[in-house]
């Protein structure tokens, strides 16, 4: 195998066999000498300052409106979440109240029986047949006072307190 060398192509040795082009150098020189003045400014410095101020005010107004729209969106979302949480609290309170009322009813019946048993032991047969009903009514009236009113404490963020307070 013979070794082959690659050489860089150099176009400097190429010949142009066409006829030479006639160039009018006088026209080129004239074009270079003609200097075109820039057009006069359309807007003055005062116009530019006015346009800058108008753009600044417009940008501020757009940003302000976007901020208000975002705040309104967040407020609607917060109100929706707040309403959802209040509804859940209402459901839980309703269940607790039902449980409390059931407990008071159950305790009233048990305490009525206990008081009647104690009264029978103490008084013997002196109690008449309507003693059960009288003791039960007395216990039913007194037991809620003895237990007191149920209390529910709900912790909230300070800024949510105003919205929930009503």
Residue 155 contacts residue 102 (beta carbons within 8 Å): no
Query: C-alpha dihedral over 147, 148, 150, 155, to 10 degrees?
Result: -120
Tally of CB atoms within 10 A around 113:
14
Question: Tens digits of per-residue pLDDT, 122-137?
Answer: 666 556 556 667 667 7
Question: Tens digits of per-residue pLDDT, 155-166?
Answer: 777 777 777 776
pTM metric for this prediction: 0.42
């Amino acid at each position: 195998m013979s070794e082959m060398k690659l050489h860089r192509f150099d176009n400097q040795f190429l010949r142009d066999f066409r006829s030479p082009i006639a160039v009018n150098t006088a026209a080129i020189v004239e074009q270079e000498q003609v200097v075109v003045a820039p057009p006069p400014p359309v807007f003055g410095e005062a116009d530019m300052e006015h346009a800058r101020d108008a753009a600044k005010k417009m940008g501020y107004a757009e940003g302000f409106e976007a901020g208000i729209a975002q705040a309104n969106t967040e407020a609607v979302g917060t109100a929706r979440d707040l309403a959802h949480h209040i509804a859940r609290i209402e459901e839980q309170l309703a269940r607790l109240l039902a449980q409390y009322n059931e407990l008071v009813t159950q305790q009233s019946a048990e305490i009525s029986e206990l008081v009647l048993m104690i009264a029978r032991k103490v008084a013997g047969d002196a109690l008449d047949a309507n003693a059960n009903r009288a003791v039960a009514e007395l216990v039913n009236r007194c037991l809620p006072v003895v237990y007191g009113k149920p209390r529910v404490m709900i912790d909230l963020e300070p800024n949510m307190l105003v919205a929930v307070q009503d």
